[in-house]
Chain A
Amino acid sequence: MSEIILVDIGSTFTKVTAVDLSTAQLISQANAPTTPEDVSIGLQNAFDQLGLPHEVIMGARKLACSSAAGGLRMVAIGLVEDLTAKAAKQAALGAGARVLKTYSFQLTEADLAEIEQLQPDIILLAGGTDGGNTANILHNAQALASLSQGVPIVIAGNRSVGPEVSKCFPERFSTYLAPNVMPQIGKLEVEPAREVIRKVFMEKIIFAKGLNKAERLIEGIFMPTPAAVLRAGRLLSEGTDLTKGWGDLLIVDVGGATTDVHSLGSGSPSKAGVVPRGLPEPYAKRTVEGDLGMRVSVLPLVEAINPAVLARDLNWEQEKVEKRAKELSVRPELLPQNPEEVAFDHALGYRAVHLAVGRHVGRLSELYTPSGLVWMQDGKDLSPVNKVIGTGGVMVNSQHAHSMLKGAEQQPETPLELRPERPRYFLDGKYILAPMGLLAEDYPEVALKILKDSLNDHELARRD
């Protein structure tokens, strides 16, 4: 059997992609509305749209990722905000989670009440380097143990007290030990914790969300969709043992509720005389901007842009901008129907890309010392990155994806932000990032070939 079917169960659509493993080509793609009460119905509908013989679909291996039922919702906890709390947040984001909130130092009664309300699917509990502080993580474990509902807890703090932390929790909690997200000051180790989170997602969360109903049709739901996208990015960047990858790259995903940015690359200073500062950042880094979205989050997006700036971009009255934004926030299903509405979505998309990439990349600051001017770099230097990939509905459906995606690059008004300087732009025109991330696990060569072929087919004209 040389066919394999990759499934992405999203919150609105269930997307399926059939691949021929022997020729490393896409056979067909289809989608159908997700059916939240029993996701297997929408999944079956999508399979029916593939136009493949029933026995081929039945016989093929089927792997899935999902962002339905609110995605993977997590809370991250560490000791110091800029150290273990930040590392914990990065680990959760890289595992494809929506990080509802990050807490540092000792949890208070008010924090616990808030966590009770947020109802996270998983809590990631870190704090202390290996051999370092133990009091804080033990305090926080005892505090969390008082939550009325049991939550899966991934413990990724000071390894000296891992088992002790685990023992703080009564039976209604399930606890999982992972290596410390920050074993030493300045050393970030988020990958092992990401893998533990993914296992908990597979074993626990899809049951809790009722997504396991899909499992009568498929082999399993292996990861949250954003984790699959990051995995595809990683494969495309690093390549395989046999085939070279594309090197450093940036992926921008503009959605209705959030804008996600994934970067693959070390981000070390590219210019001489720059001193890197702060916690090192992961090679595969994901950020999620919850206030930058085209529909559900359109009001905070317009506020972040500044309505006056948007009005100037569009040559509209500011009131008209505010009116359209309100309309979209009330009716997020609206699609642009006329040139004015298209222009509005385009301006929003451009600014969302611009802001989200600006928050993702590192920045320079200058410091005058007795021995002269020193440049300091916080975060990743992505100025040498020469490939930027755009995905998400607004971008894929736009006639002007290129100029929208150019919001990512270096501009005269942002000289201190370490954005890509002169990148080539590609569009994920067939939504293959997530399915190829799934395929990457067992068939990296096939996934890499399909990624390169499809993206090369969708390269956007270079600098118009």
Chain B
Amino acid sequence: MESKKTLVLGVIGSDVHAVGNKILEVSFQEAGFNVVNLGVLVSQKEFVEAALETNADAIMVSSLYGHGEIDVRGLREALIEAGIGDILMYIGGYLVVGSQEWSEVENKFKQLGFDRVYPPSTLPEDVIPTLRADLGI
């Protein structure tokens, strides 16, 4: 277990979409990761604290209700405060309301501190190779 890379996974904010979260948990586990799944309705504080206690290698944030931008604002800063500011961080889901240009959305979330930003309907297998590369495995 110790040699596996640890991912902290959760759906941020007042968001109760639980199904995709379970699919991600199983997919990442099958890909050989140690997954700490915080489930739904996860606050920034819970992401930071779980990453700290588990010495996580990456944080995987989901948001499916369009309010993601408000929920994640300040998360990178909170991680910096907690002393783990350089941790890898991904986000995916229905990140904004309405049809906005994807490149703008991606850019916005990168500025908010995410290393990778994924649009709706991204499959786990599209993400896992990139994640492995980013983690150097």
Contacts and interface: CB of A to CB of B under 8 A. Distances in A.
A186 B37 CA distance: 9
A237 interface: no
Contacts of B6: 131-132
Interface in B9-42: 14-16, 34, 36, 38, 40-41
Contact of B53 (A83, A277, A370, A374): A83
B70 interface: no
B14 A185 contact: no
Nearest to A367: B14
B101 interface: no
Contacts of A277: 41
Contact of A370 (B49, B55, B67): B67
A463 to B, nearest CB: 37
Interface string A351-375: 0000000000000000111110010
A186 B39 CA distance: 11
A84 to B, nearest CB: 6
A434 interface: no
B1 A130 contact: yes
Q: Could you say which interface size class chain A belongs to?
A: 20 to 34
Contact of B50 (A130, A134, A185, A367): A185
Contacts of A129: 36, 53-54
Contact of B55 (A84, A132, A182, A184): A132
B106 to A, nearest CB: 23
B14 A370 contact: yes
B52 A131 contact: no
A374 B41 contact: yes
Contacts of A128: 53-55
A116 B56 CA distance: 34
Contacts of A134: 55
Tell me if A's interface is mostly helix, strand, loop or mixed. loop
B16 A80 contact: no
Interface string B49-66: 110111110000000011
A370 B41 contact: no
Given A370-B14, A374-B14, A132 B54 contact: yes
B2 interface: yes
A184 B16 contact: no
B54 A275 contact: no
A376 to B, nearest CB: 7
Nearest to B97: A370
A160 interface: yes
A189 to B, nearest CB: 14
B34 A131 contact: yes
Nearest to A157: B53
A376 B54 CA distance: 25
Interface in A266-305: 275, 277
A82 interface: yes
Contacts of A275: 16, 40-41
A79 B41 contact: no
Contact of B14 (A79, A160, A368): A368
A133 interface: yes
Interface in A94-131: 127-131
Interface string B64-84: 011100000000000000000
Contacts of B16: 275, 369, 371, 374
Contacts of A184: 36, 54
A369 B2 CA distance: 38
Interface in A119-171: 127-134, 160
B41 A132 contact: no
Which of A84, A185, A376 has the most chain B CB within a 10 Å cutoff? A185
A374 B16 CA distance: 9
Interface string A63-87: 0000000000000000110111000
A185 B36 contact: yes
A367 B41 contact: yes
Contact of B41 (A84, A160, A376): A376
Contact of B54 (A82, A131, A367, A370): A131
B14 A133 contact: no
Nearest to B50: A185
Contacts of A182: 53
Interface of A: 79-80, 82-84, 127-134, 160, 182, 184-186, 275, 277, 367-371, 374, 376
Given A160-B2, A185-B50, A371-B65, 16 more contacts: A79-B53, A80-B49, A80-B53, A82-B45, A82-B49, A83-B49, A127-B53, A130-B1, A131-B2, A133-B55, A184-B54, A186-B38, A275-B16, A370-B65, A370-B66, A376-B41
6 contacts: A80-B53, A129-B53, A131-B55, A184-B36, A186-B38, A369-B14
Identify the 6 closest CB pairs spanning chains A and B, nearest first.
Answer: A132-B54, A369-B14, A80-B49, A133-B55, A132-B55, A131-B2
